[in-house]
């Protein structure tokens, strides 16, 4: 049915062309390398040293001490001092600071009644409610920044009076598996495997068929006995190798630079990665049969790539999305792979643990290949 | 009785409301070079694409090497060779790699593949260029590579779409020598062209215009048919005389060739020389003499007829 000789001929031709295309060859290695280093160091969901202003209306030794212990948390860094709240608000508008810390003139009075210092002084008289010690106003448009400022809301202040910090028993005990130090990079490295593969695999194959058409070679190919499936298979096999090379670079470098070591077995990793590569490649082939030019192919790749970055769970947790978005996310191979690869790399999950996602990827790959072969016509009409 | 390799009956192809090929009837005997002569846009390429199964006829049918079209054209593709108008092999592969690729695509067994590549590099004078990238070849070398790749599987029927439109006359001569070698070996060829000197080399030609066949036969027959309809006018002020003649109803076409006017008269005229002399009564200084028609005259007369 399928001639191995013809499939091999296509494969060999692709490799030869790839070898002569130095820039593409270079990008295959440089894209995962540079992006891993970049994102590994740059992306951090734990916000620190937010620039802030302080408006100290009491100017006592206590208010100065308060400012210092707030800064000591490293959540904010006081960069400006203003006399009035209005000035501080304008500084937020100008984006000079993201938040302002407003200390009222009766800080001393408020502090002694505050539960934040553990009721060290006279307990509040009945009917008299404790008031907050001071106020934060923050630019809430960035939820990560806002969240960091809010974490200061119930900050214990016993330290102000040389007291040990409040050692109240927490309501719940929380144990964090797999990433106890809460480093963002642990989640990023395996996720990046999915993103880089989505980008390069879809892009390469989306351009693959179109390039033949654009350069006129297709006119010659369709006059030969080549079969669509042979052409498709011959075209994707070289990229399977490239995909595996990129996975090797990302995970190897992830282990070397960020100590994100693969917990699961290499065999499982290979199987699930192959499934994802095949799914991405066949999606690229389908796009390639739709696109009329390489430019269109690129645009379609971006069309798939953006939701793969934003909805797959790479940037934001899948669980946080509304049902409609989850539906779209579930259509993307990257979403399924994101769950799988994090499972294998971080949680030592076995193939059996990841069954549904792996099966989905396999189905997607087969369907894509069939659709691409059916869509590809050896006809000009 | 010669064998027929390809035949079309009422073969028509429309693109939207434009008819590219209109009710084409062709009979192509075995072992000849059959020329499809016509200006750009006359439907030559479309006709070839239908004959190779790349396009489905809107109407009518064709039979190529016993295969009925429209129908499954795939088995046919191993028996025909199609050399496209532009260079459609891989510019970023070497000559050898291109030949090897195409041999493998035709599923040639390893031994035959090696033998054919070796033969073709020799025949088409490409041995020195074997390791050069196809993109770096000269026009003539690229043309020979394309032909070598087209015949690598020894097809019975070759389609050549304007094979030498873009090369110099010397290269064209050499190229045609090789085509006749193939004919000698039993290959039939269908060649499309708009060049008279290419058409003259064909055993038989069909003249196409606006998708319709205007005439067909051997070049000699076609020239014979328009005998007596061509005269040459020599003298002064040819531009002016030419314009005057062109408006005359007995005159089909006037073209200046250097210091002469080549005048083709309408079919209805019995004596061309007298008709032209009569038309030029006011210009006694010019001389009029009948000449032997060439293929270009045939072509012009045939396509004029169709346009009317």
Kindly report, residue by residue over B45-73, the tens digit of the pLDDT: 999 999 998 999 999 999 999 999 888 88
Out of A147-151, A359-363, B203-207, pick the least confident: A147-151
Distance between CA A229 and CA A4 in Å, rounded? 11
- Partners of B287 in beta bridges: B234
- Partners of A137 in beta bridges: A100
- Partners of B67 in beta bridges: B64
Distance between CA B141 and CA B130 in Å, rounded? 11
- Please give, one letter per residue, the 3-state secondary structure of chain B: CCCEEEEEEEEEEEECCEEEEEEEEEEEECCCEEEEECCCCCCHHHHHHHHCCCCCCCEEEEEECCEEECCCCHHHHHCEEEECCCCCCCCCCEHHHHHHHHHHHCCCCHHHHHHHHHHHHHHCCCHHHCCCEHHHCCHHHHHHHHHHHHCCCCCCEEEEECCCCCCCHHHHHHHHHHHHHHHHCCCEEEEEECCHHHHHCCCEEEEEECCEEEEEECHHHHHHHCCCCEEEEECCCHHHHHHHHHCCCCEEEEEEECCEEEEEECCCCCCHHHHHHHHCCCCCCCEEEECCCCHHHHHHHHHHHHHC
pLDDT score of A314 more than 50:
yes
User: Distance (Å) from the C-alpha of residue B5 to the closest C-alpha of chain A?
Assistant: 18
Kindly report, residue by residue over B139-198, the tens digit of the pLDDT: 889 999 999 999 999 999 999 999 888 788 888 898 999 999 999 999 999 999 998 888
Q: Mean pLDDT across chain A, nearest whole number?
A: 86
User: Chain B contacts of A16, Cβ < 8 Å?
Assistant: 92-93, 97
How far is residue A351 from each of residues A186, A191, A247, A348, measured CA to CA in Å?
Answer: 21, 18, 18, 10
Residue to test with chain B: of A8, A15, A223, most B Cβ within 10 A: A223
pLDDT score of A127 more than 80:
no
User: Where do the domains of chain B lie, and which CATH numbers do they carry?
Assistant: 4-219 (3.40.50.300), 228-291 (3.30.70.2070)
Contact A152, A134 (CB under 8 A): no
A115 or A258: which carries more pLDDT confidence? A258
User: Distance (Å) from the C-alpha of residue B59 to the closest C-alpha of chain A?
Assistant: 14
Contact B96, B131 (CB under 8 A): yes
Q: Percent of chain A beyond pLDDT 70?
A: 94
Question: Do B105 and A224 make contact, defined as CB atoms within 8 angstroms?
Answer: yes
Question: Do B89 and A217 make contact, defined as CB atoms within 8 angstroms?
Answer: yes
Residue matched to tokens 């008299």 = A128
Kindly report, residue by residue over A219-253, the tens digit of the pLDDT: 899 999 999 889 988 988 999 999 999 999 999 99
Q: Among A8, A12, A380, whose Cβ lies nearest the Cβ of B55?
A: A380
Q: What pLDDT is attached to residue A188? A: 86
User: Chain A contacts of B82, Cβ < 8 Å?
Assistant: 220, 223
Distance between CA B214 and CA A225 in Å, rounded? 34
User: Which residue in A322, A292, A89 sits closest to A206, CA to CA?
Assistant: A292
Q: What pLDDT is attached to residue B306? A: 47
User: Chain A contacts of B53, Cβ < 8 Å?
Assistant: 379
Q: Among B93, B97, B104, whose Cβ lies nearest the Cβ of A5?
A: B104
Residue to test with chain A: of B67, B105, B157, most A Cβ within 10 A: B105
User: Chain A contacts of B80, Cβ < 8 Å?
Assistant: 223
How far is residue A235 from each of residues A6, A7, A117, A239, A262, measured CA to CA in Å?
Answer: 11, 8, 69, 8, 30
Q: What pLDDT is attached to residue B227? A: 80
User: Distance (Å) from the C-alpha of residue B79 to the closest C-alpha of chain A?
Assistant: 10
Distance between CA B210 and CA A11 in Å, rounded? 43
Name the segment(s) of chain A with CATH classification 3.40.190: 50-161
Beta strands A135-138 and B67-69 are unpaired
Distance between CA B146 and CA B186 in Å, rounded? 20
Q: What pLDDT is attached to residue A246? A: 92
User: Distance (Å) from the C-alpha of residue A16 to the closest C-alpha of chain B?
Assistant: 7
Beta strands B188-193 and B212-217 are unpaired
A379 touches chain B (CB under 8 A): yes
Contact B32, B183 (CB under 8 A): yes
Enumerate chain B positions whose Cβ falls within 8 A of a Cβ in A. 49, 52-56, 74, 77-78, 80-82, 84, 86-93, 97, 100-102, 104-107
Question: Do A223 and B77 make contact, defined as CB atoms within 8 angstroms?
Answer: yes
Out of A95-99, A164-168, A367-371, pick the least confident: A164-168
User: Distance (Å) from the C-alpha of residue B286 to the closest C-alpha of chain A?
Assistant: 53
Instruction: pLDDT band for A163, please (50, 70, 90 cuts).
Output: low
Question: Do A223 and B89 make contact, defined as CB atoms within 8 angstroms?
Answer: no
Contact A345, A260 (CB under 8 A): yes
Q: What pLDDT is attached to residue A364? A: 95
Residue to test with chain A: of B83, B87, B88, most A Cβ within 10 A: B88
Q: What pLDDT is attached to residue A203? A: 87
Instruction: pLDDT band for B308, please (50, 70, 90 cuts).
Output: very low
Q: What pLDDT is attached to residue B307? A: 46
Beta strands B188-193 and B33-37 are parallel
pLDDT score of B247 more than 90:
no
A19 touches chain B (CB under 8 A): no
- Quote the tokens at residue B203: 């055993």
A23 touches chain B (CB under 8 A): no
Instruction: pLDDT band for B96, please (50, 70, 90 cuts).
Output: very high
Residues 6+ apart with CB under 8 A from A323: none
A202-261 residues touching B, CB cutoff 8 A: 215-226
Kindly report, residue by residue over A192-227, the tens digit of the pLDDT: 889 999 998 998 888 888 889 888 899 899 999 999
User: CATH top-level class for A50-161?
Assistant: alpha beta
- Quote the tokens at residue B59: 């109407």
Question: Do A217 and B88 make contact, defined as CB atoms within 8 angstroms?
Answer: yes
**Closest residue, chain B, to A11 (C-alpha):** B101
Q: What pLDDT is attached to residue A167? A: 58
User: Chain A contacts of B56, Cβ < 8 Å?
Assistant: 379, 381
pLDDT score of B214 more than 70:
yes
């Amino acid at each position: 049915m399928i001639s191995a000789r013809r499939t091999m001929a296509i494969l060999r031709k692709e490799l030869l062309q790839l070898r002569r295309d130095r820039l593409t060859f270079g990008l295959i290695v440089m894209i995962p390398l540079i992006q891993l280093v970049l994102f590994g160091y740059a992306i951090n969901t734990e916000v620190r040293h937010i620039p802030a202003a302080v408006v100290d209306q009491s100017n006592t030794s206590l208010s100065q001490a308060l400012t210092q212990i707030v800064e000591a948390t490293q959540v904010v860094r006081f960069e400006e001092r203003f006399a009035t709240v209005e000035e501080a608000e304008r500084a937020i508008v100008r984006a000079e600071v993201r938040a302002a810390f407003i200390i009222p003139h009766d800080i001393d009075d408020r502090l002694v009644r505050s539960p934040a210092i553990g009721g060290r002084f006279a307990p509040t008289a009945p009917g008299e409610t404790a008031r907050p010690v001071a106020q934060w106003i923050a630019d809430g448009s960035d939820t990560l920044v806002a969240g960091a400022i809010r974490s200061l809301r119930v900050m214990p202040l016993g330290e102000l009076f040389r007291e040990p910090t409040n050692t109240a028993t927490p309501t719940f005990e929380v144990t964090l598996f797999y990433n106890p130090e809460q480093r963002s990079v642990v989640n990023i490295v395996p996720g990046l495997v999915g993103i880089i593969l989505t980008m390069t695999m879809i892009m390469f194959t989306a351009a693959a068929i179109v390039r033949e058409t654009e350069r006129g070679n297709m006119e010659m190919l369709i006059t030969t006995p080549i079969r669509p499936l042979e052409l498709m298979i011959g075209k994707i096999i070289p990229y399977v190798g490239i995909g595996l090379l990129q996975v090797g670079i990302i995970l190897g470098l992830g282990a070397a630079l960020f100590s994100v070591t693969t917990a699961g077995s290499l065999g499982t990793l290979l199987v699930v990665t192959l499934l994802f590569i095949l799914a991405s490649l066949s999606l690229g082939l389908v796009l390639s049969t739709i696109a009329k030019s390489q430019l269109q192919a690129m645009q379609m790749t971006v069309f798939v790539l953006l939701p793969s970055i934003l909805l797959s769970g790479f940037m934001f947790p899948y669980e946080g999305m509304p049902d409609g978005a989850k539906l779209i996310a579930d259509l993307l191979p990257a979403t399924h792979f994101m769950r799988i690869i994090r499972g294998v790399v971080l949680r030592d999950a076995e193939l059996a643990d990841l069954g549904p996602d792996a099966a989905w990827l396999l189905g997607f790959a087969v369907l894509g290949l069939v659709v691409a072969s059916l869509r590809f016509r050896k006809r000009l009409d | 009785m010669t064998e027929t390799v390809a035949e079309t009956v009422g073969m028509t192809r429309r693109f939207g409301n434009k008819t590219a090929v209109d009710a084409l009837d062709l009979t192509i005997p075995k072992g000849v070079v059959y020329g499809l002569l016509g200006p750009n846009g006359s439907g030559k390429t479309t006709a070839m694409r239908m004959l190779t199964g790349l396009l489905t006829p809107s109407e009518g049918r064709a039979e190529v090497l016993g295969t009925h079209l429209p129908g499954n054209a795939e088995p046919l593709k191993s028996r025909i060779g199609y050399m496209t108008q532009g260079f459609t092999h891989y510019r970023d592969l070497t000559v050898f790699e291109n030949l090897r690729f195409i041999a493998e695509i035709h599923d040639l067994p390893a031994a035959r593949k090696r033998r054919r590549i070796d033969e073709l590099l020799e025949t088409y004078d490409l041995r020195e260029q074997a390791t050069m990238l196809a993109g770096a070849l000269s026009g003539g070398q690229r043309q020979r590579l394309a032909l070598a790749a087209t015949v690598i599987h020894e097809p019975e029927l070759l389609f050549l779409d304007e094979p030498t439109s873009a090369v110099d006359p010397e290269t064209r001569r050499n190229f045609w020598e090789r085509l006749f070698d193939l004919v000698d070996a039993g290959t039939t060829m269908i060649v499309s062209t708009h060049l008279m000197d290419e058409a003259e080399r064909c055993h038989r030609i069909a003249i196409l215009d606006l998708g319709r066949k205007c005439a067909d036969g051997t070049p000699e027959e076609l020239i014979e048919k328009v005998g007596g309809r061509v005269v040459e006018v020599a003298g002064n002020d040819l531009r002016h005389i030419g314009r005057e003649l062109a408006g005359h109803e007995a005159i089909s076409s006037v073209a200046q060739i250097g210091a002469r006017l080549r005048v083709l008269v309408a079919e209805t005229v019995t004596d061309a020389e007298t008709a032209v002399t009569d038309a030029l009564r006011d210009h006694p200084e010019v001389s009029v003499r009948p000449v032997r028609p060439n293929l270009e005259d045939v072509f012009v007369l045939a396509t004029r007829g169709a346009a009317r």
